[in-house]
Amino acid sequence: MSTTETQAVPAGTWAVDKVHSSVGFSVAYMAGTFTGTFGDFDAAVTDGRLRGSAKVASVQVKDPNLEAHLQSPEFFDAERHPELTFESSSIERDGDEVKIDGEITIQGHTEPVQIMGQISDPIADPYGGDRFGLKLEAVIARDGFGMSWNNPLPSGEPALSNEVTITADLQLSKQG
């Protein structure tokens, strides 16, 4: 653990408050943006390292048929790869801004990723504990994770962007 890491996020173990946090994705689709969330996820900061995961089967969009398609082998392949995971290798902080380098694994493919975001300092919560916040965003190229499905528009351009933004809005509660 480097000195930078210990200064970047609070020391000790912090577990995600799942009720007051969210993990999701957004991707440009046709003339707008398509978004989804993962209902079942986990995250923790331990000794300056961030780890997170989300259950693919908990993907939530506004159509059950589309949820099933997202879980199929054309996308996340829930049967063989039930989770997507992230683990940080370094966290740098400058004021309220954080830059987190690490590796993300989706559909069995692991790729380096850089996450940008904001951090808040720990506050005392009404339940006698301490918590801090991380609001994170990373852009990945989905074809690097075996997800190259598309549908051409009449213009011949692809309907679905290859770039996907993964977002995590986390409240982390002090443990122990």
- Closer to another protein by CB, 28 or 66: give it: 66
Residues that bind another protein (CB under 8 A): 51, 53, 64-65, 67-69, 72-74, 77, 79-83, 85, 87, 105, 108, 149
Report, in Å, the least distance between residue 131 CB and another protein: 23
Cα–Cα distance measured from residue 32 to residue 150, given in angstroms and rounded to the nearest whole number: 15
Beta carbon nearer to another protein, 58 or 105: 105
Beta strands 160-174; 13-16: pairing state: antiparallel
Take residue 68 and report the two structure tokens written for it: 């099933």
Question: CB of residue 149 vs another protein: minimum separation in angstroms?
Answer: 7
- Least CB distance to another protein at residue 65 (A): 5
Measured distance CA(46)–CA(104) in Å, rounded: 17
| Partners of 167 in beta bridges | 24, 137
The smaller minimum CB distance to another protein, of residues 61 and 125, is found at 61
* Distance between CA atoms of residues 81 and 108, nearest Å: 6
CB nearer to another protein: pick between 105 and 162? 105
Q: Which is nearer to another protein, 108 or 129 (CB)?
A: 108
Give the count of beta carbons closer than 10 Å to the beta carbon of residue 156: 6
User: Is residue 14 within 8 Å of residue 147, measured between CB atoms?
Assistant: no
Least distance in angstroms from the C-beta of 125 to another protein: 27
Rg, Å, the chain Cα set: 17
Q: How far is the CB of 34 from another protein (least distance, A)?
A: 17
